[in-house]
Amino acid sequence: MKKVGNILWGIILIVLGIIIALNATGVTNINIFFRGWWTLIIIIPSFIGLIKNESKMWSFIWLIIGIVLLLCAQNILSFSLISKLIFPFILIVIGLAIIFKDVTNRKIKEKVKKLNNENIENEAYCATFGSQNANYAGQEFKGANLDAIFGSVELDLYKATITKDQIINASAIFGGIDIIVPKDVNIKVKSTPIFGGVSNKIKNDYDEKLPTIYINSFCMFGGVEIK
């Protein structure tokens, strides 16, 4: 899914570049700064998030917000009407978020909390305006905390020894985290995305005989990729 997102961003930039070049040469006169053009800053990342992220709820919500703001800027909808509906809309969104989160993530949330209480000495890797790589080849993995802030972290567990359920707390803020996992584990994800998200390329069926890696992620203008 990451490749799909990159392709979409590439296409958008190419089209934008072509339009600017044609305008500069006088071939066309396309106004890229139309009324409400700024809403594309919300719409485009949200649309791409729907395609590439595992957790799509917040991407969908922000996409709706962006579209509504664009329609208001185009005078198709009224800002005064929208201002009256903001409060009930927020209540509805919060309600849906609570229901969705409780119904789908209750067991995962409880397990994440339990593992974090048990594994109080997790290895910590933090990359701020830089990068960190951790390779557990031939070593036993006992959980980790990963933080990427305007940077990148790679955690390679492909040849690691994992004998029981483990937790990875991953926080990507304007950064990226890659987690390479072995084949003989289950993957469970709990994600809080804000203009970001988790891309899980591991689609193996759950096997109760295998240990599970729980990935507890927070993504804000950043992403976590599991591969």
How do residues 94-132 score in pLDDT, each as one tens digit?
676 656 655 556 667 777 777 777 766 678 888 989 888
| 154 pLDDT above the threshold of 90 | yes
**Which of these three, 35, 60, 77, is where a domain ends?**
77
| 170 pLDDT above the threshold of 60 | yes
Q: How far apart are CA 6 and CA 11, in angstroms?
A: 9
Q: Decide if 221 is inside a domain.
A: yes
Shared domain check, 218 and 111: yes
Q: Decide if 94 is inside a domain.
A: no
Shared domain check, 220 and 138: yes
Q: Residues, the chain, total? A: 227
Q: How far apart are CA 92 and CA 105, in angstroms?
A: 19
Distances in whole angstroms, Cα of residue 64 to Cα of each of 43, 61, 178, 197:
8, 5, 29, 17
Q: How far apart are CA 166 and CA 122, in angstroms?
A: 10
Shared domain check, 202 and 130: yes
pLDDT score at 184: 85
The count of structural domains within the chain is 2
Shared domain check, 114 and 67: no
- Between 191 and 103, the more confident residue is 191
Q: Decide if 91 is inside a domain.
A: no
What percent of the chain shows pLDDT beyond 90?
8
Q: Decide if 100 is inside a domain.
A: no
Q: Decide if 7 is inside a domain.
A: yes
Q: Which domain holds residue 44?
A: 2-77
Q: Decide if 10 is inside a domain.
A: yes
Q: Decide if 86 is inside a domain.
A: no
pLDDT score at 54: 53
Shared domain check, 64 and 130: no
Shared domain check, 62 and 144: no
pLDDT score at 143: 86
**Span 14-58, pLDDT tens digits:** 888 898 888 888 888 887 778 888 888 888 888 877 776 555 667
Name the amino acid, one letter, at 179: I
Phi, psi of 139 (to 5 degrees): -115, 155
| 167 pLDDT above the threshold of 60 | yes
- Between 42 and 204, the more confident residue is 42
Q: Decide if 96 is inside a domain.
A: no
